[in-house]
Amino acid sequence: MVKSLIRGIVMYLYMVDASIRAQLQYRYAFVMNILGWAMTYAGTAVTMWVLLFSFGALDGWVFWELIFLFALAVLSWGVCMIFFFHFRSLDQYIVNGTFDRFLVRPVHPFFHFMAMKFDVGALGQFLFSIAAVGLAYSNLNLHWTWQWAVFLGAVIGGSLIQGGLLVAISAVAFWTTRSERLYWVIMWPLKNLMNYPLSIYPRLVQLLVVFILPFAFVNYLPALILLEKTGRIFAPFWGALSPLVGGIFFWLCFRFWLLGLDRYKSTGS
C-alpha cells in the first residue's frame, strides 16, 4: 500500500517534470500567459478601488478587505489550476479519440490524466494573489496566530472545491463529448460572484453557494474569521470548515467523473 503510494508519487513527479519542460518549450507564450493573468487580476483590483473610491465601503467591507477577499479566491484558484486545470481539455481528448490511451496503461486514468499537465501558467495567479494578500495583511494591521491554520485550510479547501467543479464539468463530456461551454456557464459566473461579499446577493444565491456548489467556503466564509467580521447570516466558525467541505465536495465530483468514465467505456465516444 505504502509502496504503491510512493511509486505513484514518484511517477507523478516524473510526469510533472516532463509537463513543465513541455510548457517551457513555448517560452514566449509561457511568459505572456503568466503576465497576462497577473495583469487581468490587477485590473479587477483597480475596478474595486474605483468602485470604493466613490462609495467608501461595500456592505461594510472596505477596500483592503475586498482585496483580501478577492486575492484569497485567486490564490486557491491558482493552486487548483496547477493540478486540475487540465481537466478543461478533457473534451478535446474525447473528441479526438486520444482519451483511449489512458485506458491502455497500468495507471488509474484519473490520475494519469491529471498528471499529463502540471499547469505552471498559474504562476500569474500566485504573483498577484500573494502580493495582494501581503498588502492587505499589512494595511489592515492583521496579526494572525491560529488564523494561519484557517488561512491554509481555506486555500486547500478552496482549491478542492474549485478543482472538484472543474472535474465534474469535465466529466459531462463523457456523455455529451463537449463540456467547454459549461465551464463558461457555471464556473466563470460563480468565480466572479465570489469576488464580492456574499451578503450583497439575494438569499437564493447565498443558499446556492453555501449548500449546493459550496463556493462560499472558498473565500467569503473563511474571510469572515480571518478579518474578524461578524457575519450576519453565518457564524464565523463556518469558515474553518473549508477543508472538510472541500474534501467532501471533491470526492462527490470524483465519483461523478468515475460514473462518466463507466459510461465512456460502454459507448466509447
Partner 1 sequence: MSLIEVSHLYKKFQIAKRQEGLWGALRSLVHRDYLTKTAVRDVSFAVNRGEMVGYVGPNGAGKSTTIKMLTGILVPTSGEIRVNGLIPYQERQKNARQIGVVFGQRTQLWWDLPVIESFLLLKQVFRVPDHRYDHNMAVFSDILGLDEFLNTPVRQLSLGQRMRADIAASLLHDPLILFLDEPTIGLDVLAKERMRQFITEINRERGVTVILTTHDMSDIEKLCRRMILIDNGQVMYDGELALIKELFGKERVLIVDLEGKTGSFSIAGAHLIKEEGNRKWLRFSREVTTASQLINRIAEKYEIKDLTIKDTEIEVMIRHIYEKGIASYESNPLPDNQ
Task: Give the C-alpha distances (Å, rounded to integers) separating 41 from 36, 81, 156, 218.
Answer: 9, 15, 21, 17
The residues that touch partner 1, with contacts defined as CB under 8 A, are 7, 10-11, 14-15, 18, 21-23, 25-26, 96-98, 100-101, 103-108, 112, 265-268
Q: Which residues contact 128 (CB under 8 A, 6 or more apart)?
A: 37, 38, 41, 42, 45, 71, 74
Q: Which is nearer to partner 1, 21 or 143 (CB)?
A: 21
Q: How far is the CB of 213 from partner 1 (least distance, A)?
A: 24
Q: How far is the CB of 36 from partner 1 (least distance, A)?
A: 20
* CA pair distance 215, 128, nearest whole angstrom: 20
Task: Give the C-alpha distances (Å, rounded to integers) separating 78 from 143, 167, 180.
Answer: 25, 15, 19
Q: Which is nearer to partner 1, 59 or 181 (CB)?
A: 181
Q: Phi first, then psi: what are they for 151, rounded to 5°? A: -60, -50
Q: How far is the CB of 22 from partner 1 (least distance, A)?
A: 4
Q: Which is nearer to partner 1, 104 or 204 (CB)?
A: 104
Q: How far is the CB of 111 from partner 1 (least distance, A)?
A: 11
Q: Which is nearer to partner 1, 134 or 268 (CB)?
A: 268
How many Cβ atoms are within 10 Å of 147's Cβ, its own excluded? 16
